[in-house]
Amino acid sequence: MKIVMLGAPGAGKGTQAKMIAEKYQIPHISTGDIFRSNIKNGTELGKKAKEYMDQGLLVPDELTVDLVTDRLGQDDCRKGYILDGFPRTIPQAEALAGALAKRGEKLDYAIDVDVPDENIVKRMSGRRACTGCGATYHVVHNPSKKGDLCEVCGEPLVLRDDDKPETVQKRLTVYHDQTQPLIDYYKGQGILKTVDGTQPMDAVFTAITRILEV
């Protein structure tokens, strides 16, 4: 099962992708997580990506596409995967389709987690990310049982720099300009499925599993 998660920043793609990955035992591949781990480890890629991420901009396609297509060639991706945060531009989607076609493969589903901008700004100010393992919480909707520490690894939770309100507004503008066109792109390919992302997390998850189990 090869799945792409679509939706605005903060729509709940990562939250759902982790649950789907666990249920169907497929890898969860998040380009945001890959960039953040490169930043943490001080790599060249991390340094370059940070310049864009801090401004709420997309990391250029030439730094992003090979990273993902190489990852998809690894053994654990043979049974499928769930892509979270990639593709984010039409050229990325075309590069992905090209890389899959070379292997005689194609995507099964593009799932759009639909949440209006007003809800997004509120959600992002409550998101907390673990500085150790990258796990994500929400102060109201999904608080850590350990308060300001991560339930998984015990490291401190922080508000991501790019989740501050001024950067969130920029990221939403970038989303509408560059990423939203993917909804029509995948609709045209007949694989788009839309779920109402304003529902509680479990209800969104049930809606997605219904789609995947048809």
Residue numbers of the site for ligand AMP (CB under 6 A)? 9, 31-32, 35, 52-53, 57-59, 64, 85-86, 88, 92, 162, 171
Select from ligand ADP, ligand AMP, none the partner in contact with residue 15, using the beta carbon and a kind-dependent cut-off of 5 to 8 Å: ligand ADP
Q: What does the block give as tokens for 78? A: 């043979």
Select from ligand AMP, ligand ADP, none the partner in contact with residue 123, using the beta carbon and a kind-dependent cut-off of 5 to 8 Å: ligand ADP
CB of 142 to ligand AMP, least distance (A): 16
Do the Cβ atoms of 69 and 99 come closer than 8 Å? yes
CB of 213 to ligand AMP, least distance (A): 26
The SS3 of residue 81 is: strand
**Number of residues binding to ligand ADP, judged by CB under 6 A:** 21
Radius of gyration of the chain (CA): 16
* Smaller CB separation from ligand AMP, 178 or 194: 178
Q: Which residues contact 177 (CB under 8 A, 6 or more apart)?
A: none
Is beta strand 109-114 parallel, antiparallel or unpaired with respect to 2-6? parallel
Amino acid at 178: Q
CB of 4 to ligand AMP, least distance (A): 11
* Smaller CB separation from ligand ADP, 73 or 173: 173
Q: What does the block give as tokens for 99? A: 């890389």
* Smaller CB separation from ligand ADP, 61 or 125: 125
123 touches ligand ADP by CB under 6 A? yes
Q: Which residues contact 1 (CB under 8 A, 6 or more apart)?
A: 24, 26, 79, 80, 108, 109, 212
